[in-house]
Amino acid sequence: MDYLSHNIAINLKRIRKAKGMSLDVVAEQTGVSKSMLATIEKGDANPSIGVLGKIMSGLRIDLQDLTQAPQNSTYLVDVEKLEPTKSVGGQYHVWTCFPIADNRSVEIYRIDIEPGGIYESGSHGERTKEYITMLKGVLTIVLDEGEYKVEKEQFFRFEADQPHIYVNNGTEKISFISFFVVY
């Protein structure tokens, strides 16, 4: 097994276990068969870019999370040097700063939304709270129970077990940090 396949095998298994997911659940979320996932985790497969793309999308991780060497206890993230994890039609950009696999309970994103941009997000699962820290602009968050405006230097928390929408109704790009905490 080459170095890259070894890293993918170890990291996929670590990430799956950190998320508390079975192979069946990962297969359902990624569209990659359970047998293929098991083969990858054993280091007996050299997955294609297409398969890695499905895994990354389904688990909301970066290619780097699968291919990097075992992680150190300290890690500096420079968002300006990262490629966005998700970017849709120039409306918004999302960077995964720290995936939940790093520590099993917190996931941290930087999100920028262009003027008039809308980012619709599904539920993040039961027992998950989302914390928003505004860096720039005014964010409108639409939840089941209503709309909330969060301004620069304000913080907002909500149960993330529901679909929610982030909206930029302003004329300038907004930026915020989103923390997901599993409890």
Cα 68–chain centre separation: 17
All domains of the chain, ordered by start, with CATH? 3-67 (1.10.260.40), 79-182 (2.60.120.10)
Q: Distances from the Cα of 43 to the Cαs of 5, 22, 37, 155, in angstroms?
A: 6, 18, 10, 43
Give me the tens of pLDDT residue by residue for the chain, a chain 183 residues long: 566 787 899 899 999 999 999 999 999 999 999 999 999 999 899 899 999 999 999 999 999 999 886 565 566 778 888 888 899 988 999 998 887 765 568 899 999 999 999 999 999 989 999 999 999 999 999 999 999 999 999 999 999 999 999 999 999 999 999 999 988
Residue 100: the pLDDT is 76
Sign of CA dihedral 100, 101, 103, 104: positive
DSSP 167-183: E--SSS-EEEEEEEEE-
Q: Distances from the Cα of 175 to the Cαs of 90, 101, 131, in angstroms?
A: 14, 24, 14
